Chains A and B, each alone.
Chain A
C-alpha cells in the first residue's frame, strides 16, 4: 500500500512490564490510529530504539509512553536516558503511573516528560498525545517553552509549570 508522507501513521513505543496494561495501552493507541510497538522493559525500549548501537537506528519512533514503576529501569530512568541522548532527546515521552504522587509527577514533568497519565489510562488521555506529535512533525526549530506551576489536580490533568525557557 502506498501512502503519502503526510498520511503515515505516527509510531508510538509503549513500555510496560505488566501484560494486561501493555495490551490495554496497545489497544488504546491502535484505536487512535497509531502504529504501536509494545515492549516490557526500559532496556528493551532502548534496544528497540538502537540506543545501544552507537545511536544508529533504523526505526522511527514519534513518541514513547512508559509506565513509571518497572523493575530494573524505571520509567523515570528511561526518560532521563532518552533526554540525555543526542539522537533521541526530541522524542516526546509520556509517563503512566497507578500512583498519584505529586512529587513524582512534578519530577517527571520537570525532567522532560510531556504528560503524566494516571492509570488506568483512558482514551481521553491518549487523545492528548496528538498535539505533541503534530508539533514535532511540523516543527523545524527546537525551541520549547514549558509553563510550570506546583499544583497537580487530583484528577488526570498534568501539572502546570511556571515560565521556563529552554534553549
Chain B
C-alpha cells in the first residue's frame, strides 16, 4: 500500500462523503406546493417510497465513508473494506436508478398506466430532486472509481 494510493483513496472517500451528504440534504429540503382549482398540491420527498429509499441509502453510504475516513490507520483490514465498498456501491447504484425511474415518470408521465406528469405543477420540487439525483449519481461514480483503483492496485502489486 504505497503512499500515493493511500492519498488517492482518502481523497476519493472525502469526495464521496461530500457527494452523498449533498444528495441527502438537497433531497430532504425539497418541497413545493401549488394551488390548482382550490386544491393545494404539495409535493414532498417523503410522498415517494423511492425517494425515501434514496435518502436512506445515501445516508448509509455517507456514514460508512465517515467511519472509514476517521479510522483510516487500519490498513490490515483493506480486503474487508474493498468487499464492503462493493456492497455499498451496489446499494448506491440501486437507489439512484430507482429514484431516477420514479422521477422520469414524474417528469414525462406514463401514458400506458394513466399517470400524469407532475413537474408542470411543482417545478421547484422537480429541480430540487434533479439536483439531488445528480449528486447521488456522482457519488455512485466516485465509489466505482474507488473500487477500480483498489482492484487495479491489488493487481499491480502482482507484477512488481
A binds B: no
Q: Could you tell me which B residues sit within 8 Å of A by CB distance?
A: none
